[in-house]
Every structure is written in structure tokens, then in C-alpha cells.
Structure 1
Amino acid sequence: MKESCEMAGNKNFDAVVGSTVFDSAGDKVGKVEQIYIADDSGQPRWVSVKTGLFGTSKSLVPLAGAKHSLDRLDVAVSKDAIKDAPHLDSDNGTSEAEETTLLEHYGLTTGNSGWTQYGKHTPEPASAGDTAERGATGTESLVRSEERLNVGTQREEAGRARLRKYVVSEEQSVTVPVSHEEVQVVREPITDATAVDSSIGEADAEVTLHADRVVATKETVPVERVGLAVNEVHGEQTVSDTVRKERIDTDGVATTDHDAKRGRK
């Protein structure tokens, strides 16, 4: 396929010529010297870039996926791919064989190598805030956008639970059995006088009495272990918010009922 480097009559191209080319990693490549336009589609396909020491070499760089702003042209290929590309010897365009070789080197085809930002029917650059875009088929189009409500969850502290141990006093009564000894006088008649001392005089008889005394002591014993267990409780919560969406109306265009229904989405 033969390509020409026509640039006259399209001031969009004039803005690109002389721009500094940066590769996909943001590295500087060189200056745009010429733009090569495909004869069949009218879309810009290549730019020739001065590279090497003092700009003595020239390489063809694909415009597919490129972005141009002011005097900067960002391309979608690497600097190494540009450096290793087949060398361009002629300023009169490329032959079909050269075209094929270049496309294969950059992994492109004639169908996806054009720069759709500029072409035969490309309008003047849109003013700030204008969302008009050029469709892939060459028709004019608008991008309709809308906001979507994205809802997720975020774990945060909702409160604290703690255990606190303190001391209280209470009365406790325990009944225990006790006993004591008492004395009673027991009298029994003596039937054999010779068996006992019958002398008269003073004498004492004594017994020791015993009684239980209640003794109370205290001891500390563990009776229970108390801990905190955290349980996950699942539920649902509805979140509502206002989202915006764009609508597109047509003016001066005949629409069918089907198109009208689609436009109301």
C-alpha cells in the first residue's frame, strides 16, 4: 500500500508536526518530522521521528492509540520497539512490502493501525467541556455517562466491652452441731459396808467438764472463670443515595419508536 505524507489543509496535523514523541513508558523518543496518511482510509497511520545522535536517524512510529496534547505526542509503543523498527530510507511514503513489515514489527494490522483521533472527516478539536467523540466507523457520537453507587463495608470500632472485678461483703450463716458436758448427782445405796471406807472426815471429788467451742476461719477458693467471647452477628442495611446520569436527545434526526425507547434509558 502506498502512503503519502500530505499534511496541507488540516491544521490538526500542523499541530502534531514538530511535537515531541514520548513512548509508552514516558521516555522521550524524538521530534515528529512527517505524518503518513493511509490512502484507503484517510487516517494518519505513521509519524516519522528523528532519533539517534543529533537526530540523524529516522524511524516510523505507529499512531494507533497515540494521544496528542499541545506539543507532546504520547505513543503506545516502547522506545526499544521504535529503535528496532525497519529503517525508512525514503521521504515519499512506504511501499506495500514496507508497510507489511512495519505492521508485523509493531504487532498491528491495517484494521487497527489507524489513528482515529484525526482522519478525513475529523472535526475541529472540541472545546473544553465538549464530550463529543468520533466513532470507530467515522460517524459522530457522544459518550453517555452515568454515576453508579458502589457500596462496601469498612470495619471500624463500634464500642468496647470489658470485665471488671470488685469486692462486696455479705453476711453468711452456717449452723454447726456443738456439745458440752453437764454434771448431775448420782446416788446409789451401799449394800456392802466393808467394801468402802467408812471413816468420818472431809473429802473432795472433782470431774473435768468439756464443751465444744465454735471456731470460724476464712479461706479464698476459685469458684468460676468469666471471660468475653465475641460473636459475629450478620444482618442487612440498605444504603440510598442520589446518582446522576446523562441523557441524550436528538434534534433534527428522525427516530423510530425503538430508538426513542433506547434514548430514554
Structure 2
Amino acid sequence: MIATPDIDEIIGADVVDAENNKVGKVGQVYLDSEDNHPSWVSVKTGLFGTSETLVPIGDATWDQSALHVSYAKDRIKDAPRVDPDQDLSPEEQDRLYSYYEQGGAYTDSVGTTATAGDYSDSSTSDYTGTEGATSVQGVQIDDGASRGSTEVQDATVVSDTAGGHDTSGPNTDDAITRSEERLNVGTQSVQTGRARLRKYIVTEQQSVTVPVTHEEVRVEREPITDANAADAYRGADLSEEQAEVTLNEERVVVDKETVPVERVRLEKDVVTENQNVTEDVRKEQIDYEDGTPGTRA
């Protein structure tokens, strides 16, 4: 059971379902009408927390950072919607009990809706609210044993001011305020990935054609002529002799050197694209009728 002194910390905290999935944030805490312990909370879900649903917290746990409830995320989000600015009607309350299979309806005792910083831990069981905080007579959520009766007697809504914020009367004026929800859509920067450059070595074969030269021996014979006769008759008439030449050739010599060929860096480009955001919004409509059939506008 969630302790009453924890109300201030619970309001605005994360709500986590039975499978540790985040559902939303706590909007309001509803107190039991008999002993003022927290029994239900409203959970803000949807885009920007514009929708609120109720979930019982009779068996929930509070770990000082999140409220852990025993219902699945989808079941909580699909629960009957409630208007955080309006008190619950008996029909809405019965639908909630039926949806969560809690067994019965609300009792006819007096209960309260808690807001952060409003609870006074005194010896009495009365709840001390701030200006504008409302209490519900006869329709407060009660998770006790009094759910057997489905009858709600003398249900009235009272507040700290005699007139309502959305009703005409002696304390306001003769106009009704019409309100509507509007989408406030923004953007936030989130990290989607990391890119890096990595340099590594690969080996490949290269084929280069290199021209090389070498010397070969060719035997030339020339007849004796007047031009070479003197050289021919020089020396002994008959003798044994040798003549030799040195042969040369070019051979391929391979050498490798490392040279820089390019520089590579990472740059980021900002790309703008359009994304559609679709969300349900509510608005109030005002009908006019003067009692004459066919005059409703």
C-alpha cells in the first residue's frame, strides 16, 4: 500500500507497468474516503501527456523514483478516458471499476483528490486543499469493502469557490467559456548513431612492364683489303691467339617507398525533412436552445 506521506513525491513521477515498461506520469492522486490512503492515480499518456486515464494502486509499490503498478501498459492506456479538470460522474466511476474488474461501484462517503503539497498530516482525517482544489461528495473512489452497492446518493460537487470556473452564476458572469486542445509540437536532438574512420592495410599485386637490355655476341668476318692489310700482316705468320669481349645486361631492381596520396575526414551535413504528427485533440462545443422545437443551434 502506498503511504499518504508519499503523495508529494508520487505526483509527477513515472508510472511503470508489470513488465517494467514506462506508461506515463502521475497526474493526480485519489485518496480513500475512509482512511485517506492513496487508492487510485491518474496517468498522463499520449503525446505531451495530453490524455489521462485512471489506474488502481491498491497493490502498487513506490521505489522513490517510479510507481510500479500491476497492470499492463496497453490496458492502462486503453482505460476509459477521464477529464482532469472535471469530477467523475457515477457512470464513469462504474465503468472504471468494471474495466479493472474491481468488483463494485463507488461508495456514498466523502472523498478527496490530492495535489502535490496539499496533504496535511494531522490527527484528523480531513483533507486540506489549496484554492481551487475540489472534493467529490458521494462519488469518491474507494478501494475498500464498500463496493457492493452500485447506488450513489446525493452526489454533489463542491469547491473552494461558490461558482465554477466554467459556469455562469452570481460569482462569475453570464458567459460560458469554450476551450479546446491545441497541439504544441517541437523537436529535440537525440543521438541516432556514431560514424568513425578506420585505417587498415591491404596487400595487392601490381604488374609493371620494365624494358631491360643485354649484350649478345655476333661474329663478323671481313675480307682483307688495302684498308686492313697492314693490320692483317702484323704479327707472326702462324700463331695461336684468343680474343674475348665482356657481355653486360640490365636487371630489374625493385624498391618501394611510402608516399601520402590523400587526406580523408568526416563531415556532417544537416538534412531537413518533413514528418507528419497525428494526435487526437478535444474541443468543447456550445449548443443554444430556447425550448422551442427546431431552434437548437
* TM-score bracket for this pair, using the shorter chain length: 0.3 to 0.5
TM-score by length of 1: 0.42
User: Which protein is bigger by CA-based radius of gyration?
Assistant: 1
TM-score by length of 2: 0.38
